[in-house]
Structure 1
Amino acid sequence: MTDVTVAQALAWAQQQVAAQSDSAKLDAQVLLLHLLKKPKSYLYAWSDALLDDTIWHQFQQLVMRRSKGEPIAHITGMREFWSLPFYVNPSTLIPRPDTETLVDYALSLSLPANAKVLDLGTGTGAIALALASERPTWRITAVDYSHDAVALATKNRDQLGLPQVEIVQGSWFTPLPASQFDLIVSNPPYIDPDDPHLSQGDVRFEPLSALVAPEQGLADIRHIVSQGRQFLSSGGHLALEHGYDQAEAVQRIFAEMAYINILTIKDMAGCDRVTVAQWPSF
């Protein structure tokens, strides 16, 4: 047993990661709880408890990784999204709360009980699996270009017990047969390759292929909107996450492609985050 208490360990860790994180206190708590396998209340109820030697050594190693900027989710291997636990690794984007805006919108739609839904660029599977957890009778297909991402999404599907979600490998619509979906959702790459934010924060540790796109970040969005017309049912919906300053450009792309009922939705921070549209009924 060490002579380091829970409170002392947290204070030390917070100091170590403060330069790299604007949530240093929370980071320290998450890392220690990850090792202790305890609820957050333990940190307050047992703040004077001494740490085991092994736990203290492991905690120091994790804190050093965080002090170099490595994302908490990569260190712990987990991230919560839509109140569900997801495995994460460096092969995909880390699920973010902003993306729950897209899930919220999808769930608000009046779709058939057995609606056909497509999630493009699924990554961890977060969007598709969050939807499946709320709408178990929807027939959901999730696609990703990365073999590693497909493996990770499959692992998440299995651990969440949502076998109805089909996960396939391929580039956007390429692996899909001619099919009519009631809803297509996507959080595609939308960052300009020259964006200075790519050298800051968690994105430094995430795959560029999942972050950036040509044409000021709009190339993949344009591709999905264009090709989506062949895969949407009459009156089907398309919902895309995008950058906070891209709403006008994305709305214009939808309009150019003859979509109707175009609308942009703000995220929890009040930023434009998701633009949605409908393919006309014929």
Structure 2
Amino acid sequence: MRSSKYSLVILPALLGFSGVNAEESGIFLEGGYQQGKAQYSTSKNGKDATTANLKGFGLQIGYQMFANKYFGFKVYGFFDYAHTQGIEFANKDASGGNPINCQMPNGLPAGVPIPGGVPGHAGAAPGGGLPAGGMPQCSINVMGILQQVVGSNKPVQPNMLTYGGGADLIVNVISNKMMALGVIGGIQLAGNSWILATPNITDVAMKYMDVSKKATGFQFLFNVGGRLRILKHSSIEAGIKFPMLRSNPFLQTKNDGTIYLRRLYSWYVNYAFTF
């Protein structure tokens, strides 16, 4: 009987002691600097790829919960912005100055008079029908189109927007009233958009037939890093995030190529305040 009384007294005391240094649960705001790499490629597997630096910032708002001073969990919405610093083309315009390249079936460039045409109608077949060489066959060069949008002597500098929700696990190695030190990791589900800081590409797409732009696609990211809490409300996080999906086309034509534009990774340093 006496041991059961001691148990009733000791157990709550132990539970209370374990929660003395537990971190605070609550709403948090977080933001900081991001830097990484973007990749431009004409194939899903990254062949013939060109990379460029990404620089920007990230924001988060969410709620964090702690079971005890060592284990916690947070859910949040986030927004990342980054500017790409100069993706150069290895071959700026493979079509020789014109993103659209047309040839007649006989190999002659379109527009060249074909023998056998009716006088006054160069290239026309007798009787005013189709050209003697047949209908022209055209190919559209996506690299040339994209380069024409930004200017023939300028690098391509798209802006990246990533937005969605995430969930991270927090594991503290050290935790007391003054500070906590540990690791953090989780996943993020997001939309990812690329925006050219140039005139709208829609006009070019209308001019050159069969060109489509897919500026926004779904993205899945892994996030891993370290975390330092200072006193009660402030914490600093540093880590790296890896977008996993690479098959979203940015600009494509039906007959001659697709441009894939994606973020390879970003490292970040954030400050968070928990209310």
TM range (shorter): under 0.3
Compare relative contact order (CA 8 Å, sep 6+) and give the higher one, 1 or 2: 2
TM-score (norm 2): 0.24
Higher-Rg structure is 2
Which structure shows the bigger proportion of residues in helix conformation? 1
Which structure shows the bigger proportion of residues in strand conformation? 2
